[in-house]
Amino acid sequence: MEEARKLKSVEYVSIEGGEPFLYYPIMVKAIEEAVNLGFHAEILSNCYWATCHKDAVEWLIPIAKVKNVELSLSSDPYHGDNWVTKEVRNAVKAAKNLGIKTEILAVKCPEAEAPCPSRIEGVKVNLWELMYKGRAFSKLTERANKKFWREFTKCPYEDFTKQERVHIDPLGYVHVCQGISIGNAWQKPFSKIIKEFDPYENPILEPLVRGGPVALVERFGLPHDEFYVDACHLCYAARLLLRSKYPEILTPNQMYGETNSNRIRNTA
Ligand code: SF4
C-alpha cells in the first residue's frame, strides 16, 4: 500500500478473496492501514460469517470503527441457494445499524428461475455479467448459448491502455485481468511495475488491445472451436494454450484451475 501511495493515482484499496473474512485480524489491520494511508477501503465478502443479526454486528463493529470503509456483499445463486441469502440479509441489517456504507453485487445467472431482486433490505443490487473464465470456464460453459468465435474482437471489461485497476494476489503477482500478470510485487517494487507497464510491449496484451481475443488466437495461430460463450471464454481458452510459452505472464497456477493438490492427483 505504501508503494501504491507513491503512485499518487490510486484512490481505492479493495480487499477481495476468496473470502477475506477468513483472515479476519489481518483483514481488519489491512483496512486500518489503507485508511491511515489515505485510501478509500472496500471489503468484498460472501457474508458466510453473518449467521444471525447479533453475530453480524459483532463481526462488523471493528470495521465500523475504521472510517471510510465500504462493504460489497455477494448474493446470488452462485453464493447460496437463491438470489438472497439469509447471511446477506443479516449482514446488510447489521451494516445499516452500524452506519457502514454497503452495496450488493450479484452475478447474472441464466439458469435462475426467478429474476434478481433490485434491492435487498433496501440496499441496491448491482447485477454483473457472468464472465466465462476461471471456475466459470470449466463449469458453466457447456449449457450456455454460444456465438461464432470471430465476434469477440474486443475485451469488454478492461482497457489496458488506460488501466484503472489491478489485482494483487497473495503470491505478489500483479494482474491486469485475473491470470495476466505484469510483474511480481515481492520481486520488484509495485510502483515500478506500474510505471513501466506498457501493454504494447506485452505479447499477450498487445493483440488483446489490437483486436481482443480473436487477435490473440490469430497472433499465435492457436487451434480453436467455432463457438464460444463470450470474449472471456475464448480469451481464457487461448491463454491456457499459451501458458507454457509465457509462464511468467500467464500465472499463477491457481488462476488456471491448477492447484498443488490436483497437480499431484493428476500426476498420480
Ligand atoms: S478474460 Fe480476456 S476478454 Fe475477459 S476481461 Fe480478461 S482480458 Fe478481457
Secondary structure of 25-71 as H, E, C letters:
HHHHHHHHHHHHCCCEEEEEECCCCCCCHHHHHHHHHHHHHCCCEEE
The finding on whether 128 has its CB within 6 A of some atom of ligand 1 is: no
pLDDT in tens, 187-214: 999 999 999 999 999 999 999 999 999 9
Q: Separation of 40 CA from ligand 1 center, angstroms?
A: 26
268 pLDDT band, cuts 50/70/90, is very low
Q: Separation of 159 CA from ligand 1 center, angstroms?
A: 10
List the residue whose alpha carbon is closest to atom 5 of ligand 1: 157
The finding on whether 232 has its CB within 6 A of some atom of ligand 1 is: yes
Candidate from 131, 154, 240 with most ligand 1 atoms within 8 A of CB, to mutate: 131
Give, in words, the CATH class of 1-128.
alpha beta
Q: Which of 17, 64, 38, 39 is nearest to 178 (CA)?
A: 17
Boundaries of every domain in the chain:
1-128, 131-259
Q: Separation of 60 CA from ligand 1 center, angstroms?
A: 34
Q: Cell for 222?
A: 492457436
The finding on whether 209 has its CB within 6 A of some atom of ligand 1 is: no
Structure-model confidence comparison of residues 101 and 140, the more confident one: 101
List the residue whose alpha carbon is closest to atom 4 of ligand 1: 232
CA distance 40 to 34: 7
Give the percent of the chain with pLDDT over 90.
74
CA distance 153 to 159: 13
List the residue whose alpha carbon is closest to atom 8 of ligand 1: 155
User: Helix, strand or coil for residue 101?
Assistant: strand
The answer, yes or no, to whether residue 265 has pLDDT greater than 70, is no
Q: Are 42 and 14 in contact (CB under 8 A)?
A: yes
The finding on whether 231 has its CB within 6 A of some atom of ligand 1 is: yes
Q: Are 42 and 13 in contact (CB under 8 A)?
A: yes
Residue the block writes with cell 505479447: 203
Query: Contacts from 157-163 at CB under 8 Å and sequence distance 24+?
Result: 157/131, 157/232, 160/199, 160/205, 160/208, 160/209, 161/199, 161/209, 163/197, 163/199
pLDDT in the model for residue 169: 94
pLDDT in tens, 163-195: 999 999 999 999 999 999 999 999 999 999 999
> Rg of the Cα trace of the chain?
20
The answer, yes or no, to whether residue 87 has pLDDT greater than 70, is yes
- Per-residue pLDDT averaged across 54-61, rounded? 97
pLDDT in the model for residue 267: 41
- pTM of this prediction? 0.88
Output the average pLDDT for the chain. Answer: 91
CA distance 38 to 52: 33
36 pLDDT band, cuts 50/70/90, is very high
User: Helix, strand or coil for residue 17?
Assistant: coil
pLDDT in the model for residue 262: 53
The answer, yes or no, to whether residue 136 has pLDDT greater than 80, is no
261 pLDDT band, cuts 50/70/90, is low
pLDDT in the model for residue 138: 65
Q: Separation of 69 CA from ligand 1 center, angstroms?
A: 28
Structure-model confidence comparison of residues 34 and 84, the more confident one: 34
Residue 86 identity (one-letter amino acid): K
pLDDT in the model for residue 43: 97
- Per-residue pLDDT averaged across 234-258, rounded? 95
